């Protein structure tokens, strides 16, 4: 992302796409590295298509593929180059958890750290 002097973005993020493909239960899954290399090769010298990950739902015989690319057509070309057959490609909004605050693993930035509650008293009052 390119930022102006005031810190405001001047160019937006490249869109992300969720692709769906049929994946038979007994079929071997393609290696993530192979899919990433195919995306890189299909996107040409500009490297506009990035494979971000996938989720397989074996019971549904479905795999969901996440890409960052300029268009659904670019995703289809990358998937085809990897030997995949997308049934549907849709622009998606991906929600990611915030990064932990510096020095406090697992805490959300902008939220105060909550101290642990004291243990309830034991014994008679």
pLDDT in tens, 68-109: 999 999 999 888 888 889 999 999 998 888 888 787 665 555
Contacts of residue 66, defined as CB under 8 A and 6 or more positions apart, other chains included, come to 16, 17, 18, 19, 51, 52, 53, 54, 92, 94
- CA-to-CA distance for 103 and 18, rounded, in angstroms? 34
Residue 56, H or E segment: strand 50-57
What pLDDT digit, counting tens, does each position of 5-43 carry?
A: 455 544 468 899 999 999 888 777 777 777 777 777 766
Is the overall model pTM greater than 0.75, yes or no?
A: no
């Amino acid at each position: 992302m390119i930022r102006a002097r005031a810190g405001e973005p001047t160019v937006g993020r490249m869109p992300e796409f969720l692709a769906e493909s049929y994946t038979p239960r007994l079929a071997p899954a393609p290696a993530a590295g192979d899919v990433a290399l195919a995306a890189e090769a299909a996107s040409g010298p500009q490297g506009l298509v990035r494979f971000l990950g996938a989720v397989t739902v074996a019971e549904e015989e479905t795999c969901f593929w996440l890409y960052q690319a300029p268009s659904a057509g670019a995703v289809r070309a990358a998937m085809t180059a990897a030997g995949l057959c997308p049934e549907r490609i849709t622009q998606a909004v991906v929600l990611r958890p915030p990064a932990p605050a510096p020095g406090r693993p697992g805490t959300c930035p902008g939220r105060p750290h909550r101290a642990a509650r004291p243990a309830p008293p034991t014994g008679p009052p």
